[in-house]
Amino acid sequence: MRRVALIAAGLTRFGIRQATYRELIQEAGKAAFDSNKNVSPKDIEGFVLSSVFPERSAFQSHVACLAAESLGVRPRKLFGRVENMCGSGIVAIRTAYTAIVTGLADLVMVVGAEKMNVPVPTEAALNMITGLDRDWEGSYGLAAPPMFALSAQAHAAKYGTNEEQLSMVSVKNHNHSKNNPYAHFQKGSTMEQVMCSRMISTPLRLFHCSTMSDGAAAAIFASEERAKGLTDKPIFITGTAQAAHGYAVANFHRDLSHWPALKEAANDAYAMAGIGPDDIDFAELHDCFSIAEIIAYEELGFCEKGEGGKFIEQGLSDYGGKVVVNPRGGLIGCGHPLGATGVAHATEIFLQMRGEAGPRQVPGAKIALSHTNSGPGEHHILIFEKGF
């Protein structure tokens, strides 16, 4: 099978940006091309855009062509947009990966972009319910915070996972994003600040949540052969998998504290890469809410089922622990421009593997896992290995 290398990556600052959707795309695209001067827009053969609801937030559809034109790219071998809610970025990368593996294209650019903040701020929350089963569940006003709060309640009832443990995830990720000039939040946080923050949906408080950020990220992938002429620091995708078990909350796994779709995807990805959870040096996990990071530790096999709360408590997901989770600050610290997040994971992995992550560098990083979810029932995974 042809191998696929990550050869360039970059992103915009995430936050409440005074910039339009297409301006964010241009910023991220430039950052990716700036990261590897051997690649120019005219070389790009395939182009995949990850974006969730530009129709609502930028009043614009047909966005893949907009993005390509904005970046001077004229794709001819692969071209399109993907939308799988919060997991879209990894789905876009998998699309590029598949095209390269099959020989359809040798050089593919992936851009993830989202404008979350709109002139009427509360409308952002309304846009979010379009990502759930809007007819039968979203129409009650259900968006992601209460949906993940239900998993938190189930996990607390079954395993005793408590508010302190949920809060430790937030403090860790906010402290990591202090070292990330591209993050939405860069001030860090304390246990007290997290545990006294406003209640959103019991037991999740404001600081247990990711936030509505504008942002974009871009990454360029090449076949191993093509990569040889373009970089001496290739980073290979060695494993990847997805699984979806349900759309409506009603049809998730009956035990909401278990996310078997994630476990299934993780095991498939590990098998493909020929590694296990103990081999991962750092992980970019989808901490849309602190409970999601705790459940991900378990389903990814970093700890036993039900022990996720203890895993954070013992510092095992931080520097000096078993696996550094979310060194860039995660979605809680960086913010979560939906379509950009999975691509931003690749950007972080690009920096970490090359030893260019500055104060947040994970020492000796060689193998990394990237995970996004599109709700508790749908998960996407990539495993990257340093190829130099």
Ligand X SMILES: CC(C)(COP(=O)(O)OP(=O)(O)OC[C@H]1O[C@@H](n2cnc3c(N)ncnc32)[C@H](O)[C@@H]1OP(=O)(O)O)[C@@H](O)C(=O)NCCC(=O)NCCS
Which residues contact ligand X (rule: CB under 6 A)?
86, 125, 128, 143-145, 200, 206-207, 209-212, 288, 336
Q: Is 196 a catalytic residue?
A: no
Q: Residue 141 binds what, of ligand X, another protein, none (CB under 5 to 8 Å, by partner type)?
A: another protein
State the Cα–Cα distance between residues 280 and 115, nearest whole angstrom.
32
Q: Indicate whether 199 belongs to the interface with another protein (CB under 8 A).
A: yes
Neighbours of 112 (CB within 10 A): 36
DSSP state, 239? E
Compute the least distance from the CB of residue 11 to ligand X, in Å: 18
Q: Which residue lies nearest ligand X, judged by its C-beta?
A: 144
Check 176, 208, 258, 336 and give the catalytic one: 336
Q: How many residues of this chain interact with another protein, rule: CB under 8 A?
A: 41
Strand partners, 47: 79, 109
**Among residues 178 and 253, whose Cβ is nearest to another protein?**
253
Compute the least distance from the CB of residue 243 to another protein, in Å: 18
Q: Indicate whether 256 belongs to the interface with another protein (CB under 8 A).
A: yes
Determine the interface stretch with another protein among 35-43, 141-149, 319-327, 354-362 (rule: CB under 8 A).
Answer: 141-149
Check 86, 288, 303, 334 and give the catalytic one: 86
Q: Is 86 a catalytic residue?
A: yes
Helix residue ranges, H only, 180-259: 191-195, 224-228
Compute the least distance from the CB of residue 6 to ligand X, in Å: 24
The radius of gyration of the chain's CA atoms, rounded to the nearest angstrom, is 19
Q: Which two tokens stand for residue 364?
A: 């000796």
Compute the least distance from the CB of residue 135 to another protein, in Å: 4
Q: Indicate whether 149 belongs to the interface with another protein (CB under 8 A).
A: yes
Beta-carbon contacts of 201 under 8 Å, excluding residues fewer than 6 positions away, are 145, 146, 149
Q: Which two tokens stand for residue 28?
A: 């991220």
Neighbours of 3 (CB within 10 A): 17
Q: Residue 142 binds what, of ligand X, another protein, none (CB under 5 to 8 Å, by partner type)?
A: another protein
Helix residue ranges, H only, the chain: 21-34, 54-57, 63-70, 88-101, 123-128, 144-159, 163-177, 191-195, 224-228, 260-273, 290-299, 308-313, 330-334, 338-353
Neighbours of 232 (CB within 10 A): 8
SS3 58: coil
Q: Indicate whether 138 belongs to the interface with another protein (CB under 8 A).
A: yes
- When binding is defined by CB under 8 A, the residue of 191, 244, 248, 272 that contacts another protein is 248
Q: Residue 154 binds what, of ligand X, another protein, none (CB under 5 to 8 Å, by partner type)?
A: another protein
Strand partners, 82: 50
Q: Indicate whether 133 belongs to the interface with another protein (CB under 8 A).
A: yes
SS3 266: helix
**Among residues 73 and 212, whose Cβ is nearest to ligand X?**
212
Compute the least distance from the CB of residue 93 to another protein, in Å: 30
Q: Which two tokens stand for residue 128?
A: 């979010």
Residue numbers annotated as active site: 86, 336
Footprint of another protein on this chain (CB under 8 A)? 120, 122-123, 125-126, 128-129, 133-143, 145-146, 149-150, 152-154, 157, 198-204, 206, 209, 248-251, 254, 256
